Amino acid sequence: MKYQAPFGSIDPNASYVDRNTPGAVKGSAVPAAAIEGPQREIVDVIEQSGFVPSDDMQLARAIQSQRMNYAVAGGTANALTTVLTPATEALTVGMVLRLLVTTENTGPVTLNAGVGALAVVTASGAPLARRDLVVGDIATLIYDGASWRMASMVRSEVLRNIGANVTLYVRPDGSDSNDGSSNTPEAAFATPQGAVDYVNLTFAANSFTVTINVTAGTYPGLLIRRSPMRLIIQRNGAGTARISGAALAGGAAVNVQGNAEVVFKDISIRALNANTYGLVVDNAFVTLDGCNLDDAPLYNIVAGTGASILLVGLISITGGNRAGVMRGQTGGLIESSTVTPPTMRIDNVITLSGSFVSAQTGGVVSVPSISYLGNSNIIGPRYSAILNGVISTNGAGANFFPGSVAGSVATGGQYV
């Protein structure tokens, strides 16, 4: 609204004066716009706030309602749009917007409130994570000069405490924007990675177990950097549930680290490209129960620094040639269960460029309770223990492991 100076004034900012008859002062002439303009401005605020102009105190109530700073989100899940009333011509630092969310986000979000798309970020300035905005939320956003900043913490910053075990579902026709709550396309995750990420973003550390039921299908590689809970990743139903990936962290199709405790049950693990391991574990505890170890150009399973891999049940070995099957290194341990002794079945001929079992740099492979089927399918050395690595068979002898060539020991390695 423009200031309306007294009628006839040369100065556009001239003040009004009252008539003073004894002092011979003529009062200011009031232009019509000085009366009409403020009324229309006030009435517009009242109407834009959803009120019908009538009685007193409506301007105060209109300001109190904050209706002009509230809008409903449109656009898509991660590219929001909205229209304010009155329409926004420019944003000012500190401007507040309250936005009704109508679509759950699946990743970083932008918002166009009429002057171009800007990032929506957390209070600390980080991009939003999946499900930070869900249907029905009223998000309070503050313009900081470059982005829309959330005024409060978002879901990915607040972990949820639970009091019982949790079951999640994965299936090829699911979506990683789902919550995994049931075995339907509308609820299940599309990948094991989506389920694991959801666990890390949702739950506080506790002593309960999350079981991730994976329907038959082929899924991309899996990286578990940490987990607040024990994880069981298992096949759900008939068929093959295969994790098949290129090299992730640790050069593996599946990498587990960060003190996570994970059980893989009836899962097939395959490495896709050259110079890739199947499963690498560092500073974590992993159980392989009834799993299939498929193609892996290097070794199928590797226990690295601070890691332990426990073998349980029937472990099948399939696929093409590779460096070897088991490796313990840098203090890592591979061991066989004495409660449910494992059987390792080699289903086809495999030529090794390394050795069936390898222990190096203080790594340990202790699998005396394991038994083998299809030993003659392995072409190459039985074992290699070097650089203080230890291979323990509990005195089962030099021919305990499958292979067509004798094993070897060097540079402080031990075979016992």
Between 2-6, 71-75, 158-162, 169-173, the lowest mean confidence (pLDDT) is in: 158-162
CB atoms within 10 A of CB 44: 14
C-alpha dist (Å) from residue 3 to 7, 10, 12, 120: 12, 14, 8, 37
* Residues 6 or more apart in contact with residue 69 via CB below 8 angstroms: 84, 95, 96, 97, 98
Does residue 21 have a pLDDT over 80? Answer: no
| pLDDT bucket at 131, cuts 50 / 70 / 90 | confident
Range list of β-strands (E), 138-260: 138-143, 148-150, 166-170, 209-219, 222-224, 230-245, 252-256
Domains and CATH numbers, the chain: 1-12+29-64 (no CATH), 67-155 (no CATH), 159-415 (2.160.20.10)
For 25-51, how does the pLDDT look when each residue is reduced to its tens digit (9 = 90+)? 889 999 999 988 888 888 888 787 778
Contact (CB, 8 A) for 93 and 118: no
Q: Does 108 sit behind a cis peptide bond, omega within 30 degrees of 0 on the bond before it?
A: no
| pLDDT bucket at 139, cuts 50 / 70 / 90 | very high
* Residues 6 or more apart in contact with residue 55 via CB below 8 angstroms: none
Measured distance CA(324)–CA(331) in Å, rounded:
19
> Residue 144 region, left (φ>0) first, then alpha (ψ -120 to 50), else beta?
alpha
For 327-368, how does the pLDDT look when each residue is reduced to its tens digit (9 = 90+)? 999 999 999 999 999 999 999 999 999 999 999 999 999 999
The more confidently predicted of residues 253 and 67 is 253
> Residue 71 region, left (φ>0) first, then alpha (ψ -120 to 50), else beta?
beta
For 257-300, how does the pLDDT look when each residue is reduced to its tens digit (9 = 90+)? 988 999 999 999 999 888 999 999 999 999 999 999 999 999 99
Measured distance CA(148)–CA(115) in Å, rounded:
12
Amino acid at residue number 87: A
* Residues 6 or more apart in contact with residue 264 via CB below 8 angstroms: 233, 234, 286, 287, 288, 289, 291
Contact (CB, 8 A) for 271 and 301: no
Question: To 10 degrees, what angle do helices 58-65 and 32-48 make?
Answer: 50
Specify the DSSP element, H or E, that contains 381.
Answer: none
In this predicted structure, what is the pLDDT of residue 383? 98
Does residue 369 have a pLDDT over 80? Answer: yes
In this predicted structure, what is the pLDDT of residue 276? 94
Which ranges of 142-238 does DSSP label H, i.e. alpha helix?
Answer: 192-202
Contact (CB, 8 A) for 385 and 391: yes
Does residue 56 have a pLDDT over 90? Answer: no
For 69-87, how does the pLDDT look when each residue is reduced to its tens digit (9 = 90+)? 899 999 999 999 999 888 8
Rounded to two decimals, the pTM is 0.73
CA angle 298, 299, 304 (to 5 degrees): 115
Measured distance CA(6)–CA(26) in Å, rounded:
12
Query: Which residue's structure tokens are 């222990």?
Result: 359
In this predicted structure, what is the pLDDT of residue 39? 87
Which ranges of 191-285 does DSSP label H, i.e. alpha helix?
Answer: 192-202
CB atoms within 10 A of CB 267: 25
DSSP bridge partners of 80: 75, 111
For 212-256, how does the pLDDT look when each residue is reduced to its tens digit (9 = 90+)? 999 999 999 999 998 989 999 999 999 999 999 987 777 999 999
Mean pLDDT of the chain: 93
